[in-house]
Structure 1
Amino acid sequence: MSSPIFAGHCAALPHRRTLVLALSALFPLGAAQAQGVATDQQLAPVLITGASLRSGLAAHLPSNSVSKTAEDLRDQNLFNPEDALKYLPNTSIRKRYIGDRNSMIGGRSFGTLQPGRGLAYVDGYLISNFLGRFDGPRWNMITPEAIARVDMLYGPFSAIYPGNSIGTTVVTTEREPRGLEASARLTGYSQRFSQYGQADSYGGHQLSAYVGNRLDSGLWYTASLNHQNSTSQPMNYYSAGVNAKTGAFDPAKPGDKIVTGIVYDRDPKGAARAVFGASGGAIDHTVQDMLKLKAGYAFTPELMASAMLGLWTNDTQNSNRPFLRDAAGHTVWSGAVSDGVNRFVIPDSAFAPSSRDELHRHGGLTLKTRYASGWNASLVYSNYRILRDIAAQANLPEPQAQAGGEGLWTRRDGTGWNTLELQAAYSPVAGDWGDGRHALTLGLHRNAYLLNSPSRKAPNWLSGETVLTQSYSGRSEVIAAYAQDAWKLQQDLTLTLGLRQEQFRTTDGLQLLRVASCKAEAGAQCQAMGDGSFQRSLPYAERKLSGASPKASLAWMAQPDLTLKASFGRGVRFPNVEELYNGTFTATSQTQSDPNLKAERSNALEFSAEKDWELQRLRVSLFHDDVRDAILRQSDTSVLPSVTRVSNVDRVRTYGLELVWQTQDLFIQGLSLDVNAAFAHSKVLANARDPQSVGKWWLRVPKVRANVLAAYRPNSRWMASLGLRHSGRAYNDSYNLDSNPNVYGGVSSFTFVDLRCSVQLSPKFELALGLDNATDRRGYQAHPYPGRTLFTEIRARY
């Protein structure tokens, strides 16, 4: 986050601040041109005001926000693009491991079980993936080396963004060239991870590169690429609890295979369990490649067009590590086993491998005008398409499955989403932004999601599929019109009013399932398949929902360096197509969605005060979020297969406090501090479907979040930083029965310490070393977070 500094001190600024000031000259060409017109109005250039270097957001923005520039991100270990968010206030990122494709966002009043409340854009193009159970934004479409800045907005206070913004909105801006530019970064990492007495090393590397040029003709173009090869620590473990009838483990029987290696512990609810090894495709080896081409042309100084095309591929192999050994020391993968006291039966599927082959395409077009004042217009279109997505799951344990055998293939080929945004914005002359003047934004928006996910039997899981076993599909569409006006009531008082009207429609909802017998069910249709089985199809009728979202914000500049703001916003978040129609059944998991889900409705309030001093800035915010019909995704992993259910919760209320403090050179010349803390109280107030959950803490919203990032630059060559990430108590059970959260399967508190040191070897080369989780603490968000991880990085630029 950009630190406040008096303009009068610019002559004495060290190298880092000189670069930040240079970036401020780039942003009118970079951040502004990359977004839509309405977003341009919010993402104003970084400016030296009368007192300080402010955040990169416009002063009358109705949402409070935080920002990080590319130079700010040099102070921390950044491997994947979502790492840019890990020190931002009141934010959780469910990044389970390096290379995770599903790094979901958690915010003020929502946890990572509600990915529909995390909205993400890059250069004005939507990358929010609402097609899968745990699909996070498609961060993979961002090259780390191409990032110019990241801005995060809190809450549903802006009419410009869709209803999914009731949580958190992340806007990433990639670089645009001023002339001929090129840079590349090679990063490697390694971690030593231990769990349940098992220890091993996991590592990988990444190459991230960027090249661009801007010609005198008005044409500019860029190419960015990212290659990553990484291996995760174990994500899942196969375990068994006590017999529900006897309250104890089953006793050993004659004929059971005697094994060693069974580990006993307590699950998140405190119940005894036995753990047999890393299972369910626990160790993820992923090779990812991304190439993005962008170009733009200024037809006139006021009329510009740009286009973007990105391709991303992923080749994933998931493997397992059983703990069990027989008397000869051989690994035991399945069957009836015993340690001489207790008996367990391990199914063939427990340690079965899997793989995934993906090819995604992201394209976009933008046409806009750019007048210094008066009316401007823009048209932004984007299309995200999954060209190939094959998830192959074996039925047999790993040694047998390496030679083939039966399995299951699940596809999502052809699915994706597209968006269209038409905006018009009026802004007064900069010097005439005085009493009674208006800055107006009008817009039309459409987004549409298509989901089709069939699963078929695979006689050989390595080579192909045959008979359809199940499928779910559907379409959703949101059409919206919005208006927002920032009205300067007087020189120090700005009233921002907005209204967003949205219409939601879903069509073609369908679930198919191959079953042994077909029972009568309302609306279901059955067809005999000739092999003794039946294909049961359940089509769903078209649905239409609508919602109006009024917004209001009043900002008062009580003093030249003190701003007080009060904001109200209503947001309507419609259910995702996957939340409506997913009906996946596998050997290890089941998903039960609800085609009659209601839309989430959030009424949010925020009161904030922001104070700038000569070398520091402080923001204090009180927030209150009252959500009706909150959409909850709750999983029960204590049973096999595990069950995930999606449902509405009548009312959830969250309120809390945020503190954000930033300093530069306050204590020591060259030392910058970014410190933030958030305290939240989030509980279920009403839930007719599940009265026992009323009064319980809302899931995965930590009571306390806190971050510190201290960076010290004694001169223009050296930098050393210390980062601290803390997440407090949170719950993963609707009834808050997870009294033992600091174990696998729980949502634990954690405190991670990160270190980084870099040296500028020459004007064109930089070397860095870093440690994440330097004290090797265990943390869990159901899955274990990485252990101590060493980073090495070399960067070259032209």
Structure 2
Amino acid sequence: MHRPLQTLLAAALAAAPAVRAAAADDSQQQQHLEPVLVTGARSSAPSPDLPHSSAGKSAVQLREQNLVNPEDALKYLPSTTLRKRYSGDRNALIGGRSFGTLQPSRALVYVDGFLISNFLGRFDAPRWNMLTPESVERVDVLYGPFSALYPGNSIGTTVAVTERRPRAFEAAVRLSRFRQHFDAYGHADHYDGHQQSAHLGDRLGSGLWYTVDLNRQDATSQPMQYQAVTADAAGRFPEPRSGPATPVTGVRYDTDPRGLRRALLGAGAGAIDHTVQQTVKLRLGQTLDRALAGDLLLAHWTQRSQTRNLSFLRDGSGQAVWRGLVSDGAQRFELPATALAPSRRDERHLQAGLRLKTQHDTGWNTTLVLSGYRIIEDRQRQATQPDPQAGAGGAGSVTRRDGTGWNTAELVTTYTPAADDLAGGRHALTFGLHRNAYRLHSTVDRTADWRGGPGQPDQYYRGRTRVVALYGQDVWRLRPDLKLTWGVRWERFEAGDGQQKFPGSEPEPRYPSRRLHGSSPKASLAWWATPDLLLKASAGRGVRFPNVEELYNGSIAANGRKTSSDPRLAPERADALELSAEYGWQRHLLRASLFQDDVQDAILRQNDVSAQIDWVSNVDRVRTRGIELTWQAQDWPARGLSLDANVALARSKVAANARDPRSVGKYWPRVPRLRASVVAAWRANERWTTSLALRHSGRAYNTSDNSDIQPDVYGGVSRLTQLDLRGSVKLQPQLELALGIDNLTDQRAWQSHPYPGRTLLAELRWTR
């Protein structure tokens, strides 16, 4: 382990002058996030400096729930959808109050101020892999574009993860295993996984502190997608080519999300994913003198993935049929060779970050944050023959994204007034300069041996984006019980080097470079009506610019599905309003929030199932209105019992869409009308802890015209109501055993892909 760490550290030190990173610095996070956690009484009420409604969980609270991967920290938070398809999923996408998991670029995720949001592609989720479960100290979620400190992607949700910083020597080791039972379309099986995590940290007498975090995960998914043939409105299936057909059994018939008859022939397109992932992360910090401190981040993640498929079809001798013309006596189908073809993917990612800051108690301070994320290697090898034949090699393709990544930089100066001025007129000021740059280069090579042979470029798309922003924010104490937080953010967006090449053709001419501008005013007024009651009114605009893939991804997949993007996309412009009231009494905290998001030129990728086409376009106007209620209680109704409950009702609809009038008045995709969760944890004594958690997500749609009328099938977006249990006991003061169950009732739920079935978890944790 020493050699990789030395290599990574040397790379970070060499790259630091050139690597830039975006994010709010940790001093800002402490100023705006520190008071969010409910610890039992009115002292837990949020700070009036925070212009957003927020929710958060500490490490202690997170250990009261089943936490296999770091993103699990979000699954019970208000108005939040986490599309985690299985343990080890690399694309656990976030949905929020007014956006679904088809719009990942509306979610910002920071880890100690360093950005891990991946705004490169459609299904590029935050890089959760740069976190380990043992390193998370707390997580906080901010709702809406009400702070000038954050980029335009904050029009949805901003997640701030805080990692542990040691005060003395500390160590932890965590071993876990999990097993999922999954049963769908006549196929039932168990899918297992295990994980090992380690955390080591210390703060030396010199002021130097360090942490080392290691994580290894080996996991296998349930089937993610199926090879299906859909009939027309009259119930007629497509007529395959002529010729003799193999008699088979095992075709599964159902009704697809649009209400059309459908035949499923197997779990295909690399349905079952076996992935091995490893994370190594080093953090160093040093107080250089009484007024200057710095810290360094270096993280390395690798992943090896192998997929396989299942054929439902059996011939007369009981052997699986993987390709060709087949007939079950009633219908004839053609099963393409590529439908049940396996794939393999190898990835290596590196993240580096550097922060320098002054730390005067009052007056002016300056923070410089630099970091970058680079995909050193990303190669997905796809066979063109089904599983049995592909094992011996044969033709295929290799998709490469080597060298892709992003870098950002943030220079912030803040002014903190003296604490002894309790009269009105105090100002806490923040001014900042921000830059981020994203680059994506995706190439598909054709190769004679998909397992490892050389290839010839067949298609590609590429491009870059850059945002430069200036911002200022003032927290103005008008009087001791009244504060105004107001600010503005000005952003300039550039896109260029956009180019596409399609199979069998010459490269398309490069698209012209584009420059766009956006300004985002913000204001929030907070009034302590009584010592226990905080009233807040917030308004803000956010401008979210399109990402590289939304602009330039024109490609054709191995199964023939086409993707079409739009280099002329307009940015999303969101005008948001929120009225909230928070009341704390004794051991309770209650919050009610009314919110409205009005988004112009919303960016949405849609699909035409029959034509096998995905395309991206602007939707003229989408309006979301809703109410959110949260309640937290400590030692109530019994000592040692804590409750954390929330419910959100939202009505998100398309108000105008000249490109597709059918969608006007319809619900916005993947935004449930109702979301709710409750977590009840009981600490019987210092040894025993038990918890029960219930999460519910109501009806939602997968298409902008709401034509998916059948939600509870593959491809649909179904209701979800799942019950999770956990119990832990300290076998010794430093040794803890935990057992848990996710989805106790084994509910089958879908968000296009299936959610996991009943999952059993066991965890052994040692700490010092």
Q: Is the 8 A contact 2:247 2:316 kept in 1?
A: yes
Residue in 1 aligned with 2:101?
Answer: 112
Q: Is the 8 A contact 2:107 2:156 kept in 1?
A: yes
Q: Is the 8 A contact 1:37 1:377 kept in 2?
A: no
SS across alignment from 1:132: coil
Greater Cα offset, 788-797 or 365-374: 365-374
**1:42 paired residue among 32, 35, 45:** 32
Q: Is the 8 A contact 2:702 2:716 kept in 1?
A: yes
Greater Cα offset, 247-256 or 65-74: 247-256
Residue in 1 aligned with 2:647?
Answer: 677
Amino acid across the alignment from 2:601? D
Amino acid across the alignment from 1:583? G
Greater Cα offset, 585-594 or 491-500: 585-594
How far did residue 40 of structure 1 move? 3.3
How far did residue 67 of structure 1 move? 1.0
- What are the Cα deviations for residues 82-109 of structure 1, in whole angstroms up to 9, with x where unaligned? 0000000000011111111111110000
SS across alignment from 1:331: coil
**2:681 paired residue among 674, 697, 711:** 711
**2:721 maps to 1:755:** no
Change (3 A) 1:621 1:633: same
How far did residue 338 of structure 1 move? 0.6
Q: Is the 8 A contact 2:37 2:55 kept in 1?
A: no
Change (3 A) 1:474 1:76: same
Change (3 A) 1:51 1:324: closer
Q: Is the 8 A contact 1:408 1:465 kept in 2?
A: no
Amino acid across the alignment from 2:61? D
Amino acid across the alignment from 1:693? S
Q: Is the 8 A contact 2:650 2:672 kept in 1?
A: yes
Equivalent runs, 1:47-446 vs 2, <5 Å = 52-54=42-44, 58-243=47-232, 247-248=236-237, 250=239, 255-446=244-435
**2:592 maps to 1:620:** yes
Q: Is the 8 A contact 1:191 1:787 kept in 2?
A: yes
How far apart, CA to CA, are the structure 2 residues paired with 1:736 and 1:47?
Answer: 38
Amino acid across the alignment from 1:600? E
Equivalent runs, 1:579-728 vs 2, <5 Å = 579-588=550-559, 589-639=561-611, 642-728=612-698
Query: Which stretches of structure 1, 4 residues or longer, exceed 4 Å deviation after superposition?
Result: 45-51, 243-246, 248-254
Change (3 A) 1:740 1:391: same
The alignment yields a C-alpha RMSD, in angstroms, of 1.7
Residue in 2 aligned with 1:24?
Answer: none
How far did residue 738 of structure 1 move? 1.1
Amino acid across the alignment from 1:748? S
SS across alignment from 1:535: coil
How far apart, CA to CA, are the structure 2 residues paired with 1:670 and 1:373?
Answer: 40
Equivalent runs, 1:493-504 vs 2, <5 Å = 493-504=482-493
SS across alignment from 1:580: helix
Change (3 A) 1:393 1:447: same
The number of residues matched between the two structures is 745
**2:512 paired residue among 526, 541, 560:** 541
How far did residue 611 of structure 1 move? 0.3
How far apart, CA to CA, are the structure 2 residues paired with 1:316 and 1:152?
Answer: 31
How far did residue 192 of structure 1 move? 1.1
Identity of aligned residues (%): 58
How far apart, CA to CA, are the structure 1 residues paired with 2:154 and 2:541?
Answer: 10
SS across alignment from 1:348: coil
Change (3 A) 1:244 1:585: farther
Residue in 2 aligned with 1:560?
Answer: 531
Change (3 A) 1:156 1:34: closer
Change (3 A) 1:252 1:134: closer
SS across alignment from 2:339: helix
Residue in 1 aligned with 2:15?
Answer: none
How far did residue 458 of structure 1 move? 1.1
- What are the Cα deviations for residues 699-740 of structure 1, in whole angstroms up to 9, with x where unaligned? 100000000100011111111100011000101122111111
How far did residue 252 of structure 1 move? 11
How far apart, CA to CA, are the structure 1 residues paired with 2:172 and 2:43?
Answer: 27
SS across alignment from 1:44: helix
How far did residue 58 of structure 1 move? 3.5
How far apart, CA to CA, are the structure 2 residues paired with 1:105 and 1:549?
Answer: 23
- What are the Cα deviations for residues 515-540 of structure 1, in whole angstroms up to 9, with x where unaligned? 2xxxxxxxxxxxxxxxxxx4232311
Q: Is the 8 A contact 2:145 2:541 kept in 1?
A: yes
Structure 2 unaligned blocks of 5 or more: 1-22
Change (3 A) 1:375 1:251: closer
How far apart, CA to CA, are the structure 2 residues paired with 1:622 and 1:156?
Answer: 15
Change (3 A) 1:60 1:786: same
SS across alignment from 1:222: strand
Amino acid across the alignment from 1:602? A
- What are the Cα deviations for residues 181-237 of structure 1, in whole angstroms up to 9, with x where unaligned? 100111100011000111001010011111011011111111001100000000001
Q: Is the 8 A contact 2:491 2:518 kept in 1?
A: yes
SS across alignment from 1:467: strand
How far apart, CA to CA, are the structure 2 residues paired with 1:132 and 1:284?
Answer: 20
How far did residue 430 of structure 1 move? 3.0
- What are the Cα deviations for residues 446-492 of structure 1, in whole angstroms up to 9, with x where unaligned? 00001111111011000123211111111110000000101011111
How far apart, CA to CA, are the structure 1 residues paired with 2:212 and 2:143?
Answer: 32
Q: Is the 8 A contact 1:276 1:322 kept in 2?
A: yes
Residue in 2 aligned with 1:737?
Answer: 707
How far apart, CA to CA, are the structure 2 residues paired with 1:537 and 1:494?
Answer: 55
How far apart, CA to CA, are the structure 2 residues paired with 1:250 and 1:512?
Answer: 32
How far apart, CA to CA, are the structure 2 residues paired with 1:251 and 1:579?
Answer: 34
Q: Is the 8 A contact 1:575 1:598 kept in 2?
A: yes
Amino acid across the alignment from 1:566? A
Q: Is the 8 A contact 2:103 2:122 kept in 1?
A: no
Change (3 A) 1:302 1:34: farther
Amino acid across the alignment from 1:573? R
Amino acid across the alignment from 2:511? Y
Change (3 A) 1:766 1:223: same
Change (3 A) 1:339 1:251: farther
Q: Is the 8 A contact 2:40 2:634 kept in 1?
A: no
Q: Is the 8 A contact 2:564 2:613 kept in 1?
A: yes
**2:448 maps to 1:478:** no
How far apart, CA to CA, are the structure 2 residues paired with 1:180 and 1:375?
Answer: 33
Change (3 A) 1:699 1:675: same
TM-score scaled to structure 2, two decimals?
0.95
How far apart, CA to CA, are the structure 2 residues paired with 1:251 and 1:743?
Answer: 25
Q: Is the 8 A contact 1:62 1:158 kept in 2?
A: yes
Residue in 2 aligned with 1:569?
Answer: 540
Amino acid across the alignment from 2:583? K
How far did residue 592 of structure 1 move? 0.6
Q: Is the 8 A contact 1:38 1:424 kept in 2?
A: no
SS across alignment from 2:214: strand
Residue in 2 aligned with 1:14?
Answer: none
How far apart, CA to CA, are the structure 1 residues paired with 2:238 and 2:576?
Answer: 49
Amino acid across the alignment from 1:136? A
Change (3 A) 1:314 1:602: same
Amino acid across the alignment from 1:759? V
How far apart, CA to CA, are the structure 1 residues paired with 2:279 and 2:85?
Answer: 21
Q: Is the 8 A contact 1:450 1:474 kept in 2?
A: yes
How far did residue 634 of structure 1 move? 1.3
How far did residue 591 of structure 1 move? 1.2
Residue in 2 aligned with 1:5?
Answer: none
